[in-house]
Structure formats: C-alpha cells, structure tokens
Amino acid sequence: MSTTEVEYSVDKPLNREPPVKRLVASFITPDDAYYDRNHGPIPHLSADKHTVTVNGLVSQPLTLSIAQLRSDFPQHEVVCALQCAGNRRHTMRTLLKEVQGIDWMDAAVMNCKWRGPRLRDVLEKAGVQKNREGLHVAFGCYQVKCQDDDWFGGSVKLERGLREDGEVILALEMNDKPLPHAHGHPVRVVIPGVTGARWVKWLDRITVQENESPNYYQRRDYKILPPDATDSQSAQKYWDKVPPIMEMPINSVVAVPDDNETITLPPSGKVEVNGYAVPQGDQGPVTRVEVSGDGGKTWVDAQLEGSAKDKKWCWVLWRADVPVEKGSGREILSRATDAGGNTQQEHSEWNLRGVVYNGYGASRGLAVV
Ligand SMILES: Nc1nc2c(c(=O)[nH]1)N[C@H]1C(S)=C(S)[C@@H](COP(=O)(O)O)O[C@H]1N2
Ligand SMILES: [Mo]
C-alpha cells in the first residue's frame, strides 16, 4: 500500500464538476466532462498486478486478476447515469437553508457506457450462499486512506447485487476504454440506479456478509437525516437509525440558459431551453419532462432527445421552446416524470448534509430583453 503511486492527497482530494452546459452537449459523457468525487488520493494501480478478493459467506473464496475478470466471465455492457448524492447541494443550500458539504452545482453526474463481468457471475463462481435473505454484499478499496476512514467501502443488499435485471457489473471499461486512474482503474463497481458512493473505485475486496459495510461512508455519511438534525451534534443520535442512501430519486435540471444570464427574446416569444433528467432508481426511463417560464403556472412538454427513451438507467437530454415574458428576475423550471410514475415536486425536504436534492430544476435570475 505504501508503494502505491498516488495523485492528490488525503487532505486535498480531487473534487470537481464540468460546466453544466458542456455536460448536456453529449448523450454519452466524454472523458473531459467527467465529474470527480474522491474522499482521498487517487492511486495509480497496475492492471497486471491488481487483484480482487471475493470472500465472506461464500463456499469458494476467490482471488481474481484483471485478466481473469476479463476472460473467465461473459462481459456485460450497460449505459447508465452515475450521480453523487451531493449533486444540486448548492440549490438546497441557497433555496432552503445552509447545509454541510461540498458546494456541488448541477453537474456531479455523468452518463456513460460501462463494461465488465456481472457481479452475479463472479459471486456464483465463488459459491455464494443460497439462503440470501438479509445478507449484504460489501465492496472495499484498501489501496489508500480516506479523509474519515482508513479505507473506502460501501454495500448493497445481496439480493440487489444479484438481481439479473439489476445489471450490477465490475467495470473494467468506461466508454470503450480502460477505466482512467481517477475513475477506478483497473476495476470499479457499477450499480445502475444507486448513488455513486456505493460504486467503489479501485475495488480490491468483495465480501458477502450479514451486516452493511462498516465503513464511515456507509454508516456516518450519505444519509438523509431528519430535519431536526440541525448540526453535527444533534445529528449524532440519528446516524445509526437512518438507512444509507441507495436509489437516487427522479430529478432534472435546466442547463441552458444558466442562472443570471441575459437572453434576447426571439420574435416567437419563446426561449430555447435544454437540460437533463434522470429516473428514480430502477423505475426508468424518464418518460416526460415539463418546462415552465412563468413560475409554474403553465407548463410545456419538452422533447426527449436521442435514443434515451427506451433506456432504463440513462439520463435523457431534453429541449423545449418556452414562452417567457420580458423582464428581470425571470425563472425557468423543469419537472421530470419516469416510467414508475415518480414526478419531481417543487422542493425536496432540507437535510443537514444537503444530499439528494430533487426539487424542480431551475434557472433563476434571468434577464429577458
Ligand atoms: N475507492 C473510492 N471509491 C469511491 C469514492 C472514493 O472516494 N474512493 N467516492 C465515491 C463517490 S462518493 C462517488 S459520487 C463516486 C464518484 O465517481 P467518479 O469520481 O468516477 O465520478 O465514486 C465513489 N467511489
Ligand atoms: Mo458521492
């Protein structure tokens, strides 16, 4: 571990997002528009030397090389959105009340093609226990220390990890190339529909166990605390009681125009608006996006672009021509609905860590001239 070459540090990890306009320019997010979210340094691991150990409640513990992960199992491809639970925290903080955490705007999300063996095939090979009820599958990375723990880990219910239509994979490739170092090279977990914190990068351990991952980022972070947890002290009593965030909610954002822009109104009286929308957990795809230029009094249906309509786990990019009156302080809102019938509400409830904000998408402070 001490010999691993690393970039950045425990004290100053790499955390950044692209401009949201650049993000919505492409259905598959290109490598120069990936967001980065790290709780520690980025290790540079060798695909020739790295191994993943599979242990715990399995009859045949395994240690697999990257070559084995590639050649001993069918490779599965899935296109899906990866989102940090802190995406849109800035909106919760400015619209509702101050929260704790990095000031993510609307772009801590990406939509990529991932490829690698299915978790279920790897666990079957390890002889996963037949009575699966109540068990968890935990993912670990012991390569580098993190800010609040000595390692990084997360878990999901074993049933979720094994579901045939759940499409959980151990990704070796992202957008047809080996994973970049910053995004988990040589292997990371991909769990479509589930929050990014469980998509462990630089994966080196998979454990079938009776309890959730004991890691800090499963037990003491990435939870929606109730509103009376108003500071770190009043939060204490809730950490053990509140479940970890798993499935991400229905969401959308307005990317173009961006906040505080000046727009010249075309003769049509309508402004061209673009954004993205993501479905809730496994209830995709997004089936409808509505947009309002008058504070929610009237809504127009957006066109959902490209091939996303039938893709369950993806985001959709959308566009609409929306009537807006001239003046300052104008606002454009968006509201998404998915195949499961989930629809965004105007606001979501405040929580101390500012996670999972999914009120209406919005661009505010527009000057329409
Ligand atoms: N080993 C490890 N895996 C990790 C993290 C981390 O800090 N260390 N961050 C998690 C979080 S909180 C998110 S949102 C995603 C971010 O993935 P990305 O940096 O590829 O965008 O990775 C997850 N996997
Ligand atoms: Mo995250």
pLDDT for position 33? 98
Q: What are phi and psi of 92, to 5 degrees?
A: -60, -40
- Ligand 1 atom with the shortest distance to the CA of 217: 12
Q: For a substitution probing ligand 1, which of 31, 84, 139, 143 has the most ligand atoms within 8 Å of its CB? A: 84
Q: How many residues make up the chain in this entry? A: 369
Domain boundaries along the sequence of the chain: 20-238, 251-368
- Which letter does DSSP use for residue 297 in this model? S
Cα(96)–Cα(348) distance, integer angstroms = 9
Is residue 203 in contact with ligand 1, taking CB distance under 6 Å? no
- Distance set, CA 280 to CA 234, 246, 291 (Å): 30, 11, 19
Q: Say how many Å lie between the CA of residue 92 and the centre of ligand 2.
A: 16
Residue of the nearest CA to atom 6 in ligand 1?
38
Distance 125 CA to ligand 1 centre (A): 27
The closest-lying atom of ligand 1 relative to the alpha carbon of residue 34 is: 21
DSSP state of 79: E
CA of 112 to the centre of ligand 1 (A): 15
Per-residue pLDDT reduced to its tens digit, 202-223: 999 999 999 999 999 999 999 9
Tokens representing residue 182 in the block: 């910053």
Q: Contact, 195 vs 248, CB < 8 A?
A: yes
Dist CA 37 CA 253 (whole Å): 20
Query: How far is it, in rounded angstroms, from Cα 268 to Cα 11?
Result: 52
Positions of the chain with pLDDT lower than 70, given as ranges: 1-3, 306-310
Instruction: Identify whether the C-beta of residue 147 lies closer than 8 Å to the C-beta of residue 222.
Output: no
AA identity, residue 56: G
Sign of CA dihedral 68, 71, 73, 79: positive
20-238 CATH fold? Sulfite Oxidase; Chain A, domain 2 (3.90.420)
pLDDT in tens, 27-55: 999 999 999 999 999 999 999 999 999 99
Report the side by side order of strands in the sheet with 327-338: 262-263, 361-368, 327-338, 286-292, 300-301
CA distance 269 to 322: 8
Say how far apart CA 13 and CA 268 lie, in whole Å.
Answer: 47
**Both tokens assigned to 79:** 């296109």
CA atoms of 223 and 89, how far apart (whole Å): 14
Report whether 46 contacts 197 (CB < 8 A): no
Give 254's Cβ-side CA count (13 Å radius): 31
CA pair distance 13, 145, nearest whole angstrom: 11
Q: Which amino acid is at 257?
A: P
Give the SS3 label for residue 140.
Answer: strand
Ligand 1 atom with the smallest distance to the CA of 143 is 1
pTM score = 0.97
pLDDT in tens, 70-97: 999 999 999 999 999 999 999 999 999 9
| Tokens read off for 298 | 């009237």
Q: Which residue has tokens 């190339």?
A: 177
Question: What number does the ligand 1 atom closest to the CA of 35 have?
Answer: 21
Helix or strand run (H / E) with residue 208 = strand 205-209
Give me the pLDDT at residue 129, please.
Answer: 85
| CATH architecture label of 251-368 | Sandwich (2.60)
| Ligand nearest to C-alpha 201 | 1
Q: Could you write out the DSSP letters of every residue in 301-312? A: EPEEPGGGGG-T
